[in-house]
Structure 1
Amino acid sequence: MSAIDWGDVPTWLGAVFAAGAAAAAVWTLASQRAQIKEQREFIAVQAANLALEREELRAAAEERREAQAKQVSMHPRREGLERDENGEVVPDQWVVAVRNRSDAPLYDLELRFGSCYLAAEVYDIPESAVHGPNPGERRELPVAVLGPGRAVRFCSQRWPRTTVHNNRPTLFFTDAGGLRWQLDWHGRLEEAPLPEPSA
């Protein structure tokens, strides 16, 4: 029987080092894959955080942009001079009180009824008379400036009952930052296009 040839020492050392190098390469690849996975997860979390921060900044900017406009209130009611056969008042006119509760003036206030009717009269009133009968002092239309903490009352022309009902009021105004707004009788506030400059 012959002896098994196990080779020489340099071959064995070469094989051991090759196996070690292969194991190190496999370990390095696994480690790099784990690091890449961690980096991707970190980047995804950071991207989500940045998106949330951007959304918060956008919401804060929007809140600042709308802050003054949200402090403007409109209080519409229908009034009439005559009563029907049941003794109830026949509404033939809109009376709309507008308050500027902000700490800055409003500009170019205009009240429209329906799509085409403008207010017939406007009066300065004390803020305490927003819901009351105090007629106040008459002003020129349109209202160029309404100071902070001030209120005015707009009155429509007199119409038949159905015309009054179908021509609900919408307030248009420009805030201190130059943005144009519209506030409808439901209290919905929206940005409005700037009026065309008069020739």
Structure 2
Amino acid sequence: MDAGDLATWVGSTFAAIAAGATLWTLKSQRDQIGEQRTFIGEQRMFMVEQSATLALEREELRAVAEDRRWAQARQIRMYQRQVGARLDGAGQQVTPNDHWAVTVQNGSDAPVHQLEVRFGTAHLAAEVYEWPAFEPAQLRATVGDRLVMPVFLLGPRRALRFASQAWPETTVHNNRPTLFFTDDNGVRWSLDSQGKLEEVPAEPQA
């Protein structure tokens, strides 16, 4: 082999080695890029899963907090009856049912405050008394002391009896009662005669 052929052979050999090294470097870089993309994709999936988990946990905490917010208010009960009728000796009604008698019970373990009953759209209860009978069916129980409205406090497992003014029999049904009260956390609520419980929006500050 002469000098020219040897130089060509050596040059070709080094060129092949360089080309091989370049190809190996490119493949290695592609592999690294692929691994990085895979890692980034896995991290993104992990972050999405973590975000979904955190959102679910926040929703569960919110639901628990909301249940706690409503817990005491749901244990306040209101029972109403139209009363006032008088029966004759034969058991026939001779006077109309002309007013409402409303029993309010606090079935919770904490007091409630600022209780009042409104009839229709604007009529406040005419009277309110302590009510020793916790069962609403006991309409003839001996009433307790007469109280001033709104009643400042109703303790746990205690009851009140509210009475409306008298109306004509054709009108009394249109003036159904709604109870308003404030729970032990300071939230104001309303409970209507159909059992619908709602939070009362706070009045804007003057």
Matched, 1:193 2:201: yes
Alignment partner of 1:47: what SS?
helix
Q: Greater share of strand residues, 1 or 2?
A: 1
Match of 1:136 in 2: 143
Match of 1:166 in 2: 174
Contact 1:127 1:149 in 2 (8 A): no
- Aligned-partner Cα distance in 2 for 1:111–1:34: 66
Contact 1:97 1:131 in 2 (8 A): no
- Aligned-partner Cα distance in 2 for 1:196–1:157: 31
- Aligned-partner Cα distance in 1 for 2:26–2:171: 91
- From the superposition, tell whether residues 196 and 106 of structure 1 become closer, same or farther in structure 2 (CA, over 3 Å): farther
Match of 1:112 in 2: 118
The two structures have a TM-score, normalised by structure 1, of 0.87
Unaligned 5+ runs, structure 2? none
Matched, 1:51 2:55: yes
More deviation, 14-23/133-142: 133-142
Q: Percent identity?
A: 48
Match of 1:12 in 2: 16
**Could you tell me which of 76, 80, 87 is aligned with 1:76?**
80
- Aligned-partner Cα distance in 1 for 2:62–2:168: 47
Give the alignment of 1:84-99 within 5 angstroms.
Answer: 87=92, 90-99=96-105
Question: CA offset at residue 77 of structure 1?
Answer: 1.6
Match of 1:31 in 2: 35
Match of 1:102 in 2: 108
Question: CA offset at residue 146 of structure 1?
Answer: 0.7
RMSD of the alignment, in Å? 2.4
Contact 2:72 2:108 in 1 (8 A): yes
Match of 1:22 in 2: 26
Contact 1:112 1:118 in 2 (8 A): yes
- From the superposition, tell whether residues 98 and 196 of structure 1 become closer, same or farther in structure 2 (CA, over 3 Å): farther
**Structure index of larger Rg:** 2
Question: CA offset at residue 195 of structure 1?
Answer: 6.6
The two structures have a TM-score, normalised by structure 2, of 0.84
Matched, 1:156 2:164: yes
- Aligned-partner Cα distance in 2 for 1:173–1:148: 14
